[in-house]
Structure 1
């Protein structure tokens, strides 16, 4: 008993090591979360007062005028609708098409499977460039179209690799039993493979959903119609082109322009555009970890 007690007792070096790890993790969490908190606090403070500085932990002169000015502009509500639509539609279609191609490439009886995989790997490292991409979208009629957010993002070879690794680990006896019952390949995919693949589907949906929500580049390069630009492009224009001054002119009557500055508008817009995905992401974090392990353990 005494030997067991001595064996379980931690040494001084182990105690110091554990506490050092805790301190390091606390520091990493602080430097990661504090910038978000700083932006939130300053967005809730009166604009002119915030310009004096010294606001680090709590609003010094609390106000919601900044957010009233943001939502007084119809553009941000339209951009929100575009972002929500392209995130939902794009994620569902991306998961379906990528899973369908991955299921075909996971079949050992597919002719030319290795060639397709090699071609796909090459596309992960090499691309034609932005100008050929722009010209291609123009010829396809995708410029200034909502489908520019959907069609080019239907397929990702990186996500396909994760799907293929998962599909190869599924028992082949299930597919054989379904074939004996007369099921076609598409029916097997929809009725057997998809229900068994919900963990990897949730993982890829998380990956692509976050990408669709955060993507601003497509709206900047390929869309000129302000009614089709997503919220991240809207935020980009506010910061890069100082369009927040125009937003201040659209502030409601109860918001005095002298209390709302361009900087406070920028901070409030940043919170409005990033807060939804920041709230949702921690609840889906377990699927993110599971998705990272699928390729390494089952692959």
Structure 2
């Protein structure tokens, strides 16, 4: 059996939005969809609490509600469901091992863009060995698509850009492949972003400062980015690619680029650390509300789903 797209559902608005997004993704990938409900999802419940009739009834109701939402957005998808006993993070990590990707909900902030990532979602993102997609509450099918003439929301128009953040100091094939495939499945443009910072004058040799300019550095990085992507352009000739190099911090560049996108793709190292698994600063910025950028008008920047792809 093909590995499924799995959505973690708990009856909340954000988890139902995740189920809908997972259904659309399963349809795009021609994969089965599994809806997973975990007892002890809520932190107030004690780990190891016996499964009661009330819990079983609640789980069945949550899964039934999620199936209804799936049918509404992807009528050709026939999801199957499962109930698992918590702790929630451990159960979802186990489910993720069997998946093509795991989809979880993240609460939107006051109806606007941005993420509020709870301890369960953050723990899964930090430890999963399979891609995890975070979807905010209120995510609608039309949000993935370009607006119709006159600015009206539509699901009949083309997809918005897929955004990929690339660290040219450590470009990872696993993350790049995920982004190219996501763009191919959508028929979307892939916009690849690399942020660079000029070297400190202390790192330059005598007489070199006057020979270096911002445009020269930008040109060098753009050439490097093009070289890294060439093999992927050859592998995915049908994907339109736009390359962007930006002077500044990577987290700021990615958050700005993700405004109006259909999906933001970032990577996370799988390397073990003495302090345990961690989310890198760029990925952390993409999924945490306190790190999100605001435009000059005070509007939050990031609102699209975020795919966190683990890699060696």
Give the TM-score category using the shorter length: under 0.3
- TM value normalised by structure 2: 0.23
Q: Which has the higher contact order (CA 8 A, sep 6+)?
A: 1
Question: Which of the two has greater helix per residue?
Answer: 1
Q: TM-score, normalised by structure 1?
A: 0.23
- Which one has a bigger Cα radius of gyration? 1
Q: Which structure dedicates a bigger proportion of its chain to strand?
A: 2
